[in-house]
Copies of this chain bind each other. A is one copy, B any other.
Amino acid sequence: MLDRNKNQTFKSELRQDLVTGEWVVISPKRKKRPSTPFIEAHYRYKEQAECIFCDPVKSHQEKDVLIYYDGNKRWIVRVFPNKYPAFQRRNSLNKKLHGPYLTEDAIGFHEVVVTRDHKRSLAYIDLSEVAGVLRAYQERYIKLMNKKFVDYILVFYNHGRTAGASVAHPHSQLIAMPFVSMDIQKEIWGAEDYFLKNRECVFCRMVDQELTEKKRIVFQNEYFVVFCPFASRMGYEMWLVPKEHHPYFERLEQGGRDKAAEALKEALSRLDKLLEEPDYNFYLHTSPCDGRIHSYYHWHIEILPKYSTWAGFELGTGIEINTVLPENAAEELRLIV
């Protein structure tokens, strides 16, 4: 067998699919990133002593770009550049043709947001700490959104090994990228299209419908509603959506942030209780920072537990088969407290 670790000096590049026009990131260096052994059974948490995120600076991670402390001057949240970035800062954007195939530098930023506690995820840490995490997302978002070549920033969280977390210590990530992907563009266009046809935001319409019908609601407070979407792609999928129309996550104010933190913690802890600590992903969808106005969009968070496997049919068609009625999922999540 060949040495699979050669090409270490190869920087991440974007390659365009010649048929669909969609991009992929080719990033061999990321294969070298450490993967902490998860403890089996309750397999998310490896021994704390060896954890590279308990003290990120000591464990040779990059220097913090943001740090929050509590009243006792202990750090609570810290953000630092990913040591194995999928997208990387560069001064110019190179495009190249290889025969008919197009490549581009995978230019951008890739950061890690770590909370202090090694074992407690966002479902279990104090509400104020969850609010701190959202504040960190927002602060870093605002820093990165006006950088050159940044058209979209995705904030996401991988919880557990089967959800793609390579390090067990709870952490989120921000990736700032030089284009808006087709899937996100599809949502943006869908929202624009609905707005032009109905003179109404499609997410506002959904929120209205959910608040009226009530049967897919999991939790709500003054500003936010968590519900299982009518067309859930995954069993126990939840969306956390501002009740009022808000296109831009980065404009969230403190009062809203505290309420978003409450709703997020509620959603995740109900999921944990009901499905007995499943692995899951969540990500934040907001308007692109591509210099255009996106007043018809509506930011929100999508939570996808690893409830079932997307197999050949899903991969081959992009159509998900969900075996859980969203109305049943919501009822279970609502009653689990």
CB distance from A180 to the nearest CB of B (A): 9
Tell yes or no: A4 within 8 A of B by CB: yes
Q: In the complex, how many angstroms separate the beta carbon of A259 from the nearest chain B beta carbon?
A: 22
In the complex, residue of chain B having the shortest beta-carbon distance to the beta carbon of A101:
B230
Residue contact B281 to A28, C-beta cutoff 8 Å? no
Given contacts A21-B190, A231-B24, A274-B1, contact A318 B206 (CB under 8 A): no
Q: Are B304 and A315 in contact (CB under 8 A)?
A: yes
A285 neighbours in B (Cβ, 8 Å): 316
A264 within 8 A of B: no
Residues of B within 8 A of A336 (CB): 1
Q: Which residues of B contact A310 (CB under 8 A)?
A: 164
Using a Cβ–Cβ cut-off of 8 Å, how many residues does chain A contribute to the interface with B? Answer: 94
Chain A positions 226 through 252: 1 when the CB is less than 8 Å from some CB of chain B, otherwise 0 = 000111110000000000000000000
Are B181 and A309 neighbours in the complex by a CB distance under 8 Å? no
A23 within 8 A of B: yes
Among the listed stretches A46-54, A61-69, A324-332, which one makes contact with chain B, having 4 or more residues with CB under 8 Å of it?
A324-332
Tell which of B30, B154, B162, B229 touches A316, judged by Cβ atoms closer than 8 Å.
B154
Instruction: Say whether A255 faces chain B, with CB atoms less than 8 Å apart.
Output: no
Residues of B within 8 A of A184 (CB): 316-318
Q: Does B17 lie within 8 Å of A231, measured CB to CB?
A: yes
B316 touches A100 (CB 8 A): no
Minimal Cβ-Cβ distance residue in B for A193? B21
Whether A323 and B28, one on each chain, are in contact in the complex, defined by CB atoms closer than 8 angstroms, is yes
Given known contacts A25-B319, A100-B209, A324-B4, A173 and B19 CB-to-CB distance under 8 angstroms: no
Partner of A15, one of B190, B231, B324: B231
Q: A182 within 8 Å of B by Cβ?
A: yes
* The residue from B27, B163, B322 contacting A311, defined by CB atoms under 8 A apart: B163
Would you call A100 and B205 a contact (CB within 8 A)? Answer: yes
Q: Are B312 and A282 in contact (CB under 8 A)?
A: yes
Closest approach, in angstroms, between the C-beta of A147 and any C-beta of chain B?
Answer: 18
Closest chain B residue to A183, Cβ basis: B318
C-alpha spacing A190/B22, complex, angstroms: 10
Which residue numbers of A lie inside 8 Å of B, CB to CB?
1-2, 4, 6-7, 10, 15-31, 86, 98-101, 152, 154, 156-158, 161-165, 173, 175, 177, 181-184, 186-187, 190-191, 194, 202-203, 205-206, 209, 212-213, 229-233, 274, 281-285, 302, 304, 308-326, 328, 331-332, 335-336
- For the complex of A and B, list the 7 residue pairs with the smallest distance between their C-beta atoms, beginning with the closest: A164-B311, A156-B312, A183-B318, A283-B316, A164-B309, A31-B323, A15-B231
